[in-house]
Amino acid sequence: MAVGQTPFPFMPPISGVQLGTTNAGIKQTVRDDLLVFQFPESATCAAVFTQNAFCAAPVHVAKAHLAHAPRWLLINSGNANAGTGEQGMRDALQTCQDLAQVTSGQMQQVLPFSTGVIGQPLPVEKITPALPQAVANLAENHWELAAKAIMTTDTFPKGVSKVITLNGESVTINGISKGAGMIQPNMATMLGFIATDAKISQPLLQQCLADAVELSFNRITVDGDTSTNDACVLVASGCTLAPEITINSENYSIFAKAILEVSQELAELIVRDGEGATKLMRIVVSEATNDAEAVQVAKTIAHSPLVKTAFFASDPNWGRILAAVGRAGVEAMELEKIRIYLDDVCIVREGGRATDYTEESGQAVMNQAEITIGVKLGRGDAMQTVLTCDFSYDYVKINAEYRT
């Protein structure tokens, strides 16, 4: 189940970036579950990772290898290799070594990523023999295959593509992501991979990614759970004819804006595909003292099971939203200044139900598949948006049966 139609877009090849997939039979044998990215020596690579204290073994390894000019990404679905202790570390390193042998590279140049069930040993004995086939399948146009290979409970592959012009030359940006549950990123999404042919230094690429993640993947939540495996990678192959992007330049502004837009669209696709989701909710908090306060209020609403279940039922139970705002932890709220809206229908004003609000007008909004919850705090000029989805019967079913 997903909110809205989301066909996979045409994604043009990115010079220097190749993708290869195969099925290793990690958890299933129906579709590919192993993905290899390969990029040239000219490439730069940036990444951000989960802040979950129990971060997975591949996260530890990828963090360490990021400083060694990575040339390959190795991603498996079906097993998270998280909560697996020292054996998990050995397994993650082993898969890096195995891919390096197949590609005649260095194991430190491989960044590993895993997604799936937590607490089970990584089946290296299945992954290792499948690597030659994944490498043999490397091609610049395998973006949709790649997006499908990293799926777990996702119902559709997620991809976004954008082409910009710098000094008369085109620069292409492609991104794929996966995620539908255990989504409350604290740096990135469950897994996100963005590639471009731009020329840009690693430190500047890292800054660009961190800025984009903060306003995209860090502004979504499905269920309030931060994964052990969250990671987002941005690779620049350097193969474009456009000049190198430098800090504080007009080209950097154009490039950074495009990376943010790709990240935001990928993040929205994750919420649209939230496990069991039937509605997409945009929570826009404005007139806050600062951005942090706006996000705090928005996420309190987004994380409320009572709010989320009311939206699933299309029930205009506005008291649940009011209660969430009130418990968001904002000091010295002036309740008479706060206004709360469902789309353009004001439901709360001057400390209580808006005098012109009617149940019929609220119901009309709640019947929609996409709804904006607006909260005006009357405290300042800051505004932030958080995306979330409803809680349905299917969310419980999917997660109750996740390992079966």
Query: Which residues have CB under 8 Å from 294's CB, separation 6+?
Result: 285, 286, 288, 377, 382, 383, 384
Catalytic residue (one of 115, 189, 228, 385): 189
Cα-Cα end-to-end distance for the chain: 19
375 C-beta neighbours (distance < 10 Å), count: 24
For residues 386 and 302, give the distance between their C-alpha atoms in angstroms, rounded to a whole number.
8
Query: Which residues have CB under 8 Å from 317's CB, separation 6+?
Result: 306, 310
Active site residue 189: yes
For residues 372 and 58, give the distance between their C-alpha atoms in angstroms, rounded to a whole number.
37
For residues 99 and 159, give the distance between their C-alpha atoms in angstroms, rounded to a whole number.
25
Q: Which residues pair with 353 in a beta bridge?
A: 348
Tokens describing residue 334:
């002036």
Residue 86 in contact with residue 127, Cβ under 8 Å? Answer: no
| Cα Rg, the chain, nearest whole Å | 22
Mapping DSSP onto H, E and C, the string for 84-120 reads: CHHHHHHHHHHHHHHHHHHHCCCHHHEEEEEEEECCC
Which active-site residues does the annotation give?
A: 189
